[in-house]
Amino acid sequence: QVQLVESGGGLVQPGGSLTLSCAAPGSIRSIVAMGWYRQAPGKQRELVASITSGLSTNYADSVKDRFTISRDNAKNTVSLRMNSLKPEDTAVYYCNAKHFRGIIGIVDYWGQGTQVTVSS
């Protein structure tokens, strides 16, 4: 029932930039990490970047030095700034939040997905 709200996808030329944004409902607390995944046609969903509540970051090798993930813990939001975009970055991007649910453990919440297309 609860899902993340994401925005910012679109069409961009190679070398261009795009920023994705995602917000978790205020009712979701104890989010230990947020991140972005992507899935291209015929491929497995892969982690693009993640950031913990302590602001520790992790990036896929393919996007290091091009993408920057940031988080506002107070607002439960996460953003992904994508620079120097390449055609191979084309995919549906999904926002993710890992919610600590106590005895249940870590529960994943997802956004609806937003299309990013890099093409000339």
Question: How do residues 64-103 score in pLDDT, each as one tens digit?
Answer: 999 999 998 888 899 999 999 999 999 999 999 999 988 9
d(CA 54, CA 7): 24
- Tell me: the pLDDT tens digits for 25-52? 888 888 899 999 999 999 999 999 999 9
Question: So what's the pLDDT on residue 73?
Answer: 81
Partner residues linked to 81 by β-bridges? 19, 68
Contact criterion met (CB below 8 Å) for 91 and 36? no
Question: So what's the pLDDT on residue 11?
Answer: 98
d(CA 41, CA 24): 27
**pLDDT surpassing 70 at residue 1:** no
Here the contacts of 99-102 (C-beta below 8 Å, separation 24 or greater) are 99/28, 99/29, 99/30, 99/31, 99/32, 100/30, 100/31, 100/32, 101/30
Confidence of residue 10 (pLDDT cuts 50, 70, 90): very high
Contact criterion met (CB below 8 Å) for 112 and 7? no
